[in-house]
Amino acid sequence: MEAKKKDWAFAYAMVAPTVLGVLILNIYPLLKSCYMSFTKSRGFSIYTWTGFDNYVRLFSDPEVWQALVNTIVYTVLSVAAGVFLSLVVAVLLNEKIRGRSLYRTLYFLPVVSAPAAVAMVWRWLYNADAGLLNYLLSLVGIGAVHWLTDTRTAMLAIVIVGVWTMVGYNMVLLLAGLQEIPKTFYEAAEMDGAGPVQKFLHVTLPMISPTLFFVVVTSVIGGLQVFDFIFMMIEPANTAMAYTQSLVYLFYKQSFLMGDRSYGAAIVMLLLVITLIITAIQMKLQRRWVHYE
């Protein structure tokens, strides 16, 4: 009995740092933000209870609805393109090709690169006057494109950077799933006359569906939280800002630039609810296409 108590004490001691970290860094800020969303902030620590005033203002604020549309558009485009490209790259790099390790490293480099450095490089690529992309377009007779200032292209420019940074991480996850598929499954499919497409659709996809589901869920959550590339690539005075700012950027703007932390907390709570709803829908729909056996 005494030994069992010691085992339990040791187990609790091992998980205590993680539990404390979650409570201090996640649960407490969540509860504090929820409380702040029902108040009016004055100064750094003075909050006056106002009930649902922030939410009434939020649902009647066109800037919030535009930011919500921007966030959803970015998420849909980046997740669709990013997951598709990640799967294609993972399948190709799972084959025995020369320089496979080098290619895997190159695709993973954006993941470990600092977001500030990534943003600076892409800002140069997008530069309307001296950017590499416009130079390449000029070679085929296409005029300069104002990637980051034109309201028609700014969101696309942000999506491209987001996809470029997510492919490497998702590729590694999908590669791990691909390498767990027994070779005998493919051999049996070949004996039944299946070609490359049939093997991919009926063997590869079902077997990596749990990994693919995880990649989709985490990519959607990451897309809903997009902030850094918008912050570092789109100037506040840029006319395209209204068509690219996300809910997280709007939270930053209201909380830190305009000093209205209570309204910023309400925006965060809206994003939290949307994220929970979308994740719940994905968890419900996974039963139709995810195979765990």
* Concatenated DSSP letters of the chain: -HHHHHHHHHHHHHHHHHHHHHIIIIIHHHHHHHHHTTEEEETTTEEEE-TTHHHHHHHT-HHHHHHHHHHHHHHHHHHHHHHHHHHHHHHHHTS--TTHHHHHHHHHHHHHS-HHHHHHHHHHHH-TTT-HHHHHHHHTTPPP--TTT-TTTHHHHHHHHHHHHHHHHHHHHHHHHHTTS-HHHHHHHHHTT--HHHHIIIIIHHHHHHHHHHHHHHHHHHHHT--HHHHHHS-TT-TTGGGT--HHHHHHIIIIIS--HHHHHHHHHHHHHHHHHHHHHHHHHGGGT----
Pairing of strands 46-49, 39-42: antiparallel
pLDDT tens for each residue of 100-110? 888 888 888 88
Of 37-51, 170-184, 231-245, 262-276, which gets the smallest average pLDDT?
37-51
* Residue 42, beta-bridge partner list: 46
For the chain, percent of residues with pLDDT exceeding 70? 98
What is the rounded distance in angstroms from the CA atom of residue 38 to the CA atom of residue 60?
16
**pLDDT at position 7 over 80:** no
**pLDDT at position 84 over 80:** yes
- Is there a domain that residue 150 lies in? yes
- Is there a domain that residue 271 lies in? yes
- Is there a domain that residue 27 lies in? no
Best mean pLDDT range from 30-34, 140-144, 185-189: 30-34
- Is there a domain that residue 29 lies in? no
- Is there a domain that residue 16 lies in? no
Crossing angle (nearest 10°) for helices 154-178 and 205-224: 140
Of 54-58, 93-97, 282-286, which gets the smallest average pLDDT?
93-97
What are the C-alpha distances in Å from 103 to residues 2, 87, 114?
55, 15, 20
**144 falls in which pLDDT band (50, 70, 90)?**
confident
For the chain, percent of residues with pLDDT exceeding 90? 52
**191 falls in which pLDDT band (50, 70, 90)?**
confident
- Is there a domain that residue 52 lies in? no
Q: Rounded mean pLDDT of 187-195?
A: 84
CATH number, domain of 116, equals 1.10.3720.10
- Is there a domain that residue 279 lies in? yes
Q: Which residues contact 81 (CB under 8 A, 6 or more apart)?
A: 159, 163
What is the domain count for the chain? 1
What residues make up the domain containing 195?
61-288
224 closest CA partner among 110, 122, 92, 78: 78
Compute the residue count for the chain: 293
Q: Rounded mean pLDDT of 275-288?
A: 92
**pLDDT at position 45 over 80:** no
Report the amino acid identity of residue 234. I
Q: Which residues contact 1 (CB under 8 A, 6 or more apart)?
A: none
Q: What does the pLDDT read at residue 246?
A: 95
- Is there a domain that residue 68 lies in? yes
